[in-house]
């Protein structure tokens, strides 16, 4: 029998695991600095409960199985946000908002981008903070999270579902709607013009405008507000403008580049207001996505407004590797051998170092140290370094324990 992993999952060896752990820790540090409290949710739940909060695509991506003990159908979570919605509606039902929660963990999907079915996520959910203030706060946290990824060219691309919802609602049938969605997804202006012919005369120009309502935030929003939208869309765009102004006040410096794309339909069926995506150098697609989803918590029994985002930690890790960003530097690691090894190792660990007792001396200390991910060995009165050099043990201890 060959020893292999299922398709779409992988092992992370120490250096790769350290990079991903550091990214998760950095994201959680940002979240907690902004007042978000961490929760941990189970990796699987009853399928019918979990799927109540999933869109059609996510339901199809959920991996289901029969729980041996009960015979009930359960599902591995393809997304953590529905679990937060369940918590908010049940465990936090009597907690006054705004409620700030954050999380980190793996989600598993039947099909996923780039063939990776297990994805590491970290994200926040802000509950009972209405727009525009809640939107501005979450955008500011997203900007800080992107900054913590230590990658160049950070950008937030913001949109709102109201303009596209107005246009698509005017489509006479499903085929016309599908043609509009496909043209917008491809940014195909010719196809969009053709699809818009099926719309009422007062809506067709608005549909065509969606194809080029993308670019620098202030200019794009001004162009959008100048169009003859109905009152509800004008109000939504005005709210978006206020949210961006408050984001500018709230966010840590330096700010990421800010753009608007009102024709982006990703997550259209899920979001109820502002939506946004975060981009960084080295990644071909967004590494962070979020928005307002005021209808989700209500599916679990208590309607509460909410806005949040999730960052794809694996995508960030791959971007760092592609650009040659150094991984985290581990604390100095030392092996101790010989008389008094256990006591010395305890002293080194108390000083914040990595230290282990190696009872048996290997034949080749430098190679063994390299394989173990350690920097040196203290063997009686000699320090053996990973590069093969040897120095008096007291010299290394003077560096490692300068206060002793």
- The CATH number for 122's domain is 3.30.930.10
Q: CA 139 → CA 131, 164, 279, 333, distances in Å?
A: 12, 21, 13, 40
Q: CA 345 → CA 338, 358, 388, distances in Å?
A: 11, 10, 21
Asked whether residue 264 is assigned to any structural domain, the reply reads: no
31 and 51, same structural domain?
A: yes
Domain count, the chain: 3
Report yes or no: 92 and 277 within 8 Å, Cβ to Cβ.
Answer: no
221 and 170, same structural domain?
A: yes
Asked whether residue 267 is assigned to any structural domain, the reply reads: no
245 and 213, same structural domain?
A: yes
Question: Range of 164's domain?
Answer: 159-252
191 and 136, same structural domain?
A: no
* CA triple 150-80-297, angle to 5 deg: 120
125 and 74, same structural domain?
A: yes
Dist CA 161 CA 135 (whole Å): 14
Report yes or no: 282 and 151 within 8 Å, Cβ to Cβ.
Answer: yes
Q: What is the pLDDT of residue 113?
A: 60
24 and 100, same structural domain?
A: yes
The CATH number of the domain where 349 resides is what? 3.40.50.800
pLDDT digit of tens for each residue in the chain (404 aa)? 789 888 888 888 888 999 999 999 999 999 999 999 999 999 999 989 988 888 777 788 888 989 888 899 999 898 999 999 999 999 998 888 799 999 999 998 887 665 678 889 999 999 999 889 999 999 999 999 999 999 999 999 999 999 999 999 999 999 999 999 999 988 889 999 999 999 999 999 999 999 999 999 999 999 999 999 999 999 999 999 999 999 999 999 999 999 999 998 887 778 999 999 999 999 989 999 999 999 889 899 888 999 999 999 999 999 999 999 988 888 889 999 998 999 999 999 999 999 999 999 999 999 999 999 999 999 999 999 999 999 999 999 999 888 55
Residue 231 CB partners (closer than 8 Å, separation 6+): none
247 and 175, same structural domain?
A: yes
Q: What is the pLDDT of residue 65?
A: 87
Of 79, 70, 33, whose CA–CA distance to 52 is shortest?
A: 79
78 and 14, same structural domain?
A: yes
pTM over 0.75: yes
Strand ranges across the sheet with 44-46:
44-46, 73-76, 63-66
Q: What is the pLDDT of residue 112?
A: 61
* CA triple 54-58-63, angle to 5 deg: 110
Dist CA 21 CA 198 (whole Å): 51
């Amino acid at each position: 029998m060959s020893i292999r992993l299922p398709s779409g999952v992988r092992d992370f060896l120490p250096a790769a695991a350290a990079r991903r752990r550091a990214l998760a820790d950095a994201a959680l540090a940002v979240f907690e600095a902004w007042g978000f409290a961490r929760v941990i949710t189970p990796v699987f739940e009853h399928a019918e409960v979990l799927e109540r909060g999933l869109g059609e695509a996510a339901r199809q991506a959920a991996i289901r199985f029969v729980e041996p003990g009960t015979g009930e159908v359960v599902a591995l979570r393809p997304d953590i946000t529905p679990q937060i919605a369940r918590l908010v509606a049940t465990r936090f039902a009597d907690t006054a908002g705004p409620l700030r929660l954050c999380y980190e963990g793996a989600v598993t999907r039947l099909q996923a981008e780039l063939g990776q079915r297990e994805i590491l996520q970290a994200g926040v959910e802000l509950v009972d903070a209405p727009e525009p203030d809640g939107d501005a706060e979450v955008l500011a946290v997203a900007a800080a999270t992107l900054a913590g990824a230590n990658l160049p060219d950070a950008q937030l691309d913001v949109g709102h579902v109201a303009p596209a919802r107005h246009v698509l609602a005017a489509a006479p049938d499903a085929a016309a709607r599908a043609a509009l969605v496909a043209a917008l997804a491809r940014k195909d202006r010719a196809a969009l013009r053709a699809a818009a012919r099926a719309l009422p005369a007062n809506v067709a120009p608005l549909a065509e405008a969606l194809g080029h309502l993308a670019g620098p935030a202030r200019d794009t929003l001004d162009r959008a507000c100048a169009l003859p939208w109905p009152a509800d869309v004008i109000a939504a765009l005005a709210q978006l403008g206020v949210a961006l102004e408050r984001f500018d006040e709230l966010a840590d410096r330096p700010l990421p580049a800010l753009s608007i794309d009102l024709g982006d339909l990703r997550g259209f069926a899920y979001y109820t207001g502002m939506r946004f995506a975060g981009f960084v150098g080295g990644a071909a697609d967004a590494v962070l996505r979020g928005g307002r989803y005021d209808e989700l918590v209500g599916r679990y029994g208590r309607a509460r407004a909410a806005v949040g985002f999730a960052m794809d930690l694996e995508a960030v890790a791959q971007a760092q590797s592609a650009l040659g960003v150094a991984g985290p530097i581990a604390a100095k690691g030392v092996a101790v051998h010989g008389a008094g090894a256990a006591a010395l190792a305890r002293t080194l660990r108390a000083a914040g170092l990595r230290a282990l007792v190696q009872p048996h001396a290997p034949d080749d200390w430098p190679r063994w140290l390299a394989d173990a991910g350690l920097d040196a060995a203290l063997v009686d009165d000699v320090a053996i370094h990973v590069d093969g050099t040897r120095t008096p043990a007291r010299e290394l201890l003077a560096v490692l324990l300068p206060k002793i």
